[in-house]
Amino acid sequence: MRPGVASVSMWSRLFRRDASVSGASDLIPPRPVAMRGGSVLITNDSAMRNSAVWACLRLRANLVSTMPIDVFRRRRDGIQVEAPKPPVLVNPDGTEAGIAEWMYSTQVDLDRTGNVFGLITERNALGLPARIELVDQCYVSVICDGPRIKEFRLYGERYDPADVWHERQWTVPGIPLGLSPVAYAAWSIQEGLSAQKFAIDWFGGSAIPMAELKNTAKTITPKDAEVARNFYRAAVSNGDLFVHGNDWEYKPIQAVAQQTEFLESRAFTATEIARFFDCPADLIDAAMSGQSVTYANITQRNLQFLIMHLGPAVTRREHALSRLVPGGQYVKLNRGSLLAMDPETQAKVIQIRTEARNIAPSEARAMFDLPPFTPDQIAEFDQLFVKPAATDGDGSK
């Protein structure tokens, strides 16, 4: 099957043996021609022209890709200790991009298509992936045997599943690939893109006439109308004056009502899209008029977003990345980077945890990138808090 071409729906083929599924095109319902009424074809790429889609993908990928990645193992006594990160979690594809950009790219693909694919080009001494080169999904095909993936085709070449890095999300039973929110949100996204196209055509003059030139004295024939149109166009095309008698009336066509409907449809579409991409509408400035979400502080807002929306995706990524480390070790993304606190709240939390002996003073200082206190600094505290000696009434000790 030629990559990028779909002949039947993904679902019917997934349940056939030796089914071939293109990772990008088959996840989007094929529409070979634009629909009537100004509708546009929706693909993973065209969907990103919608600002709400772009904002959702950007927000989620920005946060996930900037979470520090740590590797841990548990000792026999059950205590968790940090382990060194393998090179694949520092520079996954062997380029200068680094892990942050690799995580951003993979998160964008996961959120918009439900899948991410990469070719494993190197392995370490333990046989674990040491280098993963990401592949554009339009060049990926998947050969399925029911719910099992038998073979990948990247750029037309056949690869065993063991040689391809595959992460997925938005899954359902019996389907070896993740689902695409873009496919299910296509009608909502199409509404937004169609509204954009209509606005461009409207103000560009191709959807409706930009103005009306009316003869108030008589009914004109099509031939007379064509002469008048050409005369008017020749005059105004180069900014010259248009001179006519008292029987012609020029009137620009107004679009106030249509502009209002366009803006209202855009706002509603952005809110719908935010739901499909599991992203609160207010975080992408898409909350509907009259709606408001109030939180005591930014920490509460970020905590709600992490628990209800981003946390499950982060957990799935941790499980997937743990396949890159030796047995007995596991990967954790540091969610604390998202739960940023204002200075006053942060100081109170650190004080409470230190006094409760949950953390040591040296660990509290490490949170601010400061080294442990030196003996001289400790002596300064001793002098600062020393109590003055008691004196008698005459001033003598």
Backbone angles phi, psi at 133, to 5 degrees: -100, 115
Range 47-62 average pLDDT: 85
Range 73-80 average pLDDT: 88
Range 83-108 average pLDDT: 93
351: enclosing H helix or E strand: helix 343-355
Write down the pLDDT at residue 215: 64
Provide the residue ranges of all domains of the chain, joining segments of one domain with +: 1-205+290-336, 341-386
How many whole angstroms separate alpha carbon 312 and alpha carbon 32? 36
Q: Is the full-model pTM beyond 0.85? A: no
Question: By mean pLDDT, which of 63-67, 79-83, 237-241, 386-390 is the weakest?
Answer: 237-241
38: pLDDT strictly greater than 60: no
Beta-carbon-side half-sphere exposure of residue 273 (alpha carbons within 13 Å) = 32
Q: Phi/psi zone of residue 299: left (φ > 0), alpha (ψ -120 to 50 degrees), beta? A: alpha
For 241-270, write each residue's pLDDT tens digit.
Answer: 556 655 666 555 444 444 455 445 556 578
How many whole angstroms separate alpha carbon 90 and alpha carbon 80? 21
For 151-206, write each residue's pLDDT tens digit.
Answer: 999 998 999 999 999 999 988 888 888 888 877 666 556 555 555 555 545 445 44
How many whole angstroms separate alpha carbon 269 and alpha carbon 197? 14
Helix (H, G, I), strand (E, B) or coil at 280: coil
Token digits of residue 224: 């007379």
361: pLDDT strictly greater than 70: yes
Query: What's the Cα-to-Cα distance from 168 to each of 109, 175, 317, 353, rounded to whole Å?
Result: 9, 11, 9, 38
Contacts of 314 (CB under 8 A, 6+ apart): 64, 67, 306, 333, 335
Distance from chain centroid for Cα 171:
18
